[in-house]
Amino acid sequence: MCIAAWAWECHPAHRLLLLFNRDEYLTRPTQPAQWWAAQEDSKEILGGRDDLGGGTWMGCTRDGKLAFLTNVREPNSIIGPKTRGQLPVRFLQVRPCQILSNLVKFCD
């Protein structure tokens, strides 16, 4: 199970303290945290990247948006072509008013 914890404005030198662990399939190939763009014309994201699905489990943008995805392993999970790692990527790339409509499209 992944765990995330954060503290906002509780330290004089750091506005955000963030702790996150990723423990889902440690053998799955990934890239370390760095700036990258999901598409040529999209916002850059700072975060690790899943080499198989192209998504991320945690990322942020230069304008301060932060997204992360935790996981609970289920014995009968559905394996399919979509990766949940695209949810944080899509959230980070759109304006707030577009988030809900993009989520509905992703789930269809």
pLDDT of 2: 79
Q: What tokens does 92 get?
A: 């980070």
Query: Does 52 fall in a domain?
Result: yes
pLDDT of 11: 92
Distances in Å between the alpha carbon of 99 and those of 27, 80, 82?
Answer: 31, 23, 18
Residue 97: count other Cβ atoms within 10 Å of its Cβ: 7
Q: What are phi and psi of 73, to 5 degrees?
A: -75, 135
Query: Does 9 fall in a domain?
Result: no
pLDDT of 12: 93
Residue ranges making up the domain that contains 102? 28-107
pLDDT of 81: 63
Number of structural domains found in the chain? 1
Query: Does 48 fall in a domain?
Result: yes
Please tell me what DSSP assigns to residue 43.
P
Query: Does 90 fall in a domain?
Result: yes
pLDDT of 70: 84
* Helix (H) / strand (E) containing 34: strand 30-37
Model confidence over 23-41: pLDDT tens digits? 767 788 999 999 998 887 7
pLDDT of 78: 67
Distance CA 90, CA 33 (A): 18
Query: Does 14 fall in a domain?
Result: no
Query: Does 37 fall in a domain?
Result: yes
Residue 103: count other Cβ atoms within 10 Å of its Cβ: 13
Model confidence over 42-88: pLDDT tens digits? 889 999 999 988 899 899 999 889 998 887 666 776 666 678 888 89
Query: Does 59 fall in a domain?
Result: yes
